[in-house]
């Protein structure tokens, strides 16, 4: 089975629940295939949590869900050492972070101290508790949701945490035809509960390895580096892309190439995924700094349009 066929299998299963959003499903699958974390940012009721649950249900792997609230503690995520009276010793009780797929629901409702408990886990796939290191099994993917409209009782994610998300995207409202189909299928028991797995952890790891081996030649690597340099020298941008952001851009471009059935990355792959990889990582100057993600996406797209596209044989 090719990576393209694997993605079709996953998308077909997820689209049984998420109607009319194949492009957004593909982006989540791309992030999954390069081991990246996803931040779903949209208004309530558009299917953020359902998409995350549908992806988790499609993969036979360990799944955990954390409902982020202001009273959530870091130990509620990572786990604790407790004293076992019977054994007369301290025993580690792992938290929900020890899973292959973690749904962090309403992540911006927890305090910054609790949010930071995810930082080491997301980047290093390990966690330090009481000076002891614990490794999280691969793959480890965080699917986080947040509501950009309600700000009361929320804590904006710091730049360091945003930078650890491979992509940030909004699902948006469905079209009329898709919503009619959703209404027809609505039941007392949500359809996602009956969704079955179509792949397992071993097959996913195999596909991730194949994506990692997709060729990125020198011209395309130079194009990605030029995007990073341009973001740091743009008059509209206060904080440009980090090196981690450029690595994420390369990885997502490889995943897109694989989904298109190619074994090499083209500049078009880079341009297509760039808004989803780059927009949440930059800080704009002046009034743009306070604008919605759509303004940041426009800045990224305009910046890329001004760059020369490599024409060397790929």
CA gap 52, 145 in Å, rounded: 9
SS3 114: helix
Give per-residue pLDDT as tens, 149-176: 766 667 888 888 889 999 998 877 777 7
Taking residue 87's Cβ as centre, other Cβ atoms within 10 Å add up to 8
| Residue 41 · residue 146 · CB < 8 Å | yes
Residues written for the chain: 314
63-67 and 237-239 beta bridge pairing: unpaired
Using 50, 70 and 90 to split pLDDT, how confident is the model at 313?
A: low
Q: Which two tokens stand for residue 112?
A: 């910054």
Return phi, psi of residue 126, to 5°.
Answer: -150, 165
Average pLDDT over residues 67-83: 87
Average pLDDT, the chain: 86
Average pLDDT over residues 200-212: 94
Q: What is the pLDDT of residue 314?
A: 45
Domains of the chain (ranges, CATH numbers): 1-210 (3.40.50.300), 214-308 (1.10.8.80)
Q: What is the pLDDT of residue 31?
A: 95
Q: Which two tokens stand for residue 43?
A: 């208004």
Mention every residue, 6+ apart, whose C-beta is less than 8 A from residue 44: 147, 149
């Amino acid at each position: 089975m090719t990576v393209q066929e694997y993605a079709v299998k996953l998308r077909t299963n997820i689209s049984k629940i998420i109607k009319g959003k194949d492009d957004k499903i593909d982006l989540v699958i791309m992030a999954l295939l390069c081991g990246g974390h996803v931040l779903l940012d949209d208004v309530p009721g558009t299917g953020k949590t359902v998409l995350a649950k549908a992806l988790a249900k499609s993969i036979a792997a360990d799944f955990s869900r954390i409902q982020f609230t202001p009273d959530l503690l870091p130990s509620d995520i990572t786990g604790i050492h407790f004293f076992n009276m019977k054994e007369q010793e301290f025993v580690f009780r792992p938290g929900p972070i020890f899973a292959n797929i973690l749904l962090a629901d309403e992540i911006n409702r927890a305090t910054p101290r609790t949010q930071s408990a995810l930082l080491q886990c997301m980047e290093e796939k390990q966690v330090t508790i009481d000076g002891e290191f614990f490794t999280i099994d691969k793959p480890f993917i965080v699917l986080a949701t947040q509501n950009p409209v309600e700000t009361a009782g929320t804590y904006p994610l710091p730049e360091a945490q945003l930078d650890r998300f491979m992509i940030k995207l909004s699902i948006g409202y469905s079209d009329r035809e898709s919503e009619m189909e959703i209404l027809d299928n609505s039941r007392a028991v949500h359809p996602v509960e009956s969704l079955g797995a179509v792949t397992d952890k071993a097959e996913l790891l195999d596909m991730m390895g194949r994506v990692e081996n997709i060729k990125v030649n020198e011209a395309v690597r130079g194009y990605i580096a030029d995007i990073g340099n341009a973001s740091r020298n743009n008059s509209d941008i206060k904080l440009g892309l980090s090196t981690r952001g450029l690595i994420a851009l390369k990885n997502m471009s490889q995943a897109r190439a694989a989904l298109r059935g190619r074994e090499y990355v083209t500049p078009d792959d880079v341009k297509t995924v760039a808004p989803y990889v780059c927009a949440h990582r930059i800080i704009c100057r002046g009034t743009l700094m306070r604008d919605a993600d759509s303004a940041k996406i426009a800045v990224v797209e305009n910046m890329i349009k001004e760059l020369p596209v490599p024409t060397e044989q790929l």
